[in-house]
């Protein structure tokens, strides 16, 4: 079988499996968000269906959190090296507020970003939060120095981290709290079990995980309900494809980090080159096309492109309305 035919067959199989999941109601994705207008905080989009981000449709986290399927990752609003405050703090505040104006109602952060700075800036810019805005944060990585990202999945640390995030974000409950990464020195079950206890205490609404393999996700789901997985995934790096398949099958949101495929490790990928050619032909930026590719790739996808530039934010959110054809998806591969 020729490679092109094989790729086409694989795409058709993927599309068929996703449509089956939708038909069975396992993957709750909606083309419009208007039915969620006016719900209580966390239950509906912060902006109307006419807002730019709403063009991506909506996705449901758990059974009760409906968000537009294009979020914002708040890592890059910090200083150089994801350390401290940015040089232009006012610009970071403007970006966060503009994101919400554009209809973004899912903002992802972590206590390790800054550290702490990203969460503080979110509260500074957006508190009191508009109805429907979901803040997702992560714990389990510490930053003793700018060049150090160390895992700490001890239950005591996760409890302290969660409670500190609540204070910084000025929240009584975090809508989605994610284990940032598995600590190899702590049993996964101990770390996830502590998040379950925090959930029972009302400090966490929903639990997500990050940097998980499919078998690790299965272990976590034996302890708690997992509503989201945040793994590295983009047009050039699809190593988390097995996890994405599980998310599609079981109605779990898949949040791709590094969604724009801009790092050096992605630059030589053939699929990246094909995406660049597509972007040039369509007259859009490569990040714009990368986001559109993700949204078309799977209805479980919830991209969270981040930026420290207002003009890049506008371009990223604009990708919500860009649709790729089946032929274009085959072309990129």
Helix, strand or coil, per DSSP, at residue 269 = coil
Tokens linked to 287: 């990040």
| Longest alpha-carbon distance in the chain | 58
Of residues 247, 299, 323, the one with CA closest to residue 15? 299
Whole-number Å distance between alpha carbons of 305 and 74: 9
The residue from 113, 129, 177, 233 that is catalytic is: 113
Whole-number Å distance between alpha carbons of 66 and 106: 9
Whole-number Å distance between alpha carbons of 28 and 44: 14
DSSP 130: P
Of residues 129, 135, 127, 128, the one with CA closest to residue 106? 135
233 is catalytic: no
Instruction: Tokens 């939060």: give the residue.
Output: 129
| Alpha-carbon 227 to chain mean position | 12
Known catalytic residues are: 113
């Amino acid at each position: 079988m020729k490679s092109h035919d094989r790729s086409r067959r694989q795409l058709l199989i993927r599309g068929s499996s996703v449509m089956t999941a939708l038909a069975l109601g396992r993957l709750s994705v909606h083309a419009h968000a208007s039915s969620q207008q006016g719900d209580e905080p966390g239950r509906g989009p912060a902006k109307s269906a006419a807002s730019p981000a709403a063009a991506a449709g909506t996705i449901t986290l758990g059974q009760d959190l409906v968000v537009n399927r294009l979020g914002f990752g708040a890592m890059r609003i910090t200083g150089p090296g994801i350390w401290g405050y940015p040089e232009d703090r006012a610009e970071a505040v403007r970006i966060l507020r503009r994101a919400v104006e554009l209809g973004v109602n899912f903002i992802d952060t972590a206590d390790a970003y800054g550290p702490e700075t990203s969460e503080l800036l979110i509260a500074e810019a957006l508190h009191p939060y508009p109805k429907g805005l979901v803040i997702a944060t992560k714990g389990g990585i510490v930053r003793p120095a700018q060049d150090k990202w160390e895992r700490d999945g001890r239950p005591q640390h996760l409890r302290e981290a969660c409670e500190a995030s609540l204070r910084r974000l000025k929240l009584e409950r975090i809508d989605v709290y994610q284990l940032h990464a598995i600590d190899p020195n702590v049993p996964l079950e101990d770390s996830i079990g502590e998040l379950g206890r925090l959930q029972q205490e009302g400090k966490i609404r929903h639990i997500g995980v990050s940097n998980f393999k499919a078998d690790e996700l299965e272990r976590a789901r034996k302890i708690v309900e997992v509503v989201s997985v945040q793994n590295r995934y983009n047009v050039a790096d699809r190593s988390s494809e097995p996890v994405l398949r599980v998310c599609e099958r079981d109605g779990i949101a898949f949040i791709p980090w590094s969604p724009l495929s801009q790092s050096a490790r992605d630059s030589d990928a053939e699929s990246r080159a094909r995406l660049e050619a597509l972007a040039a032909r369509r007259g859009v930026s490569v990040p714009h096309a990368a986001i559109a590719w993700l949204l078309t790739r799977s209805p479980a996808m919830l991209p969270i492109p981040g930026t420290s530039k207002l003009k890049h934010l506008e371009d990223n959110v604009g990708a919500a309305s860009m649709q790729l054809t089946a032929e274009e998806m085959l072309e990129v591969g």
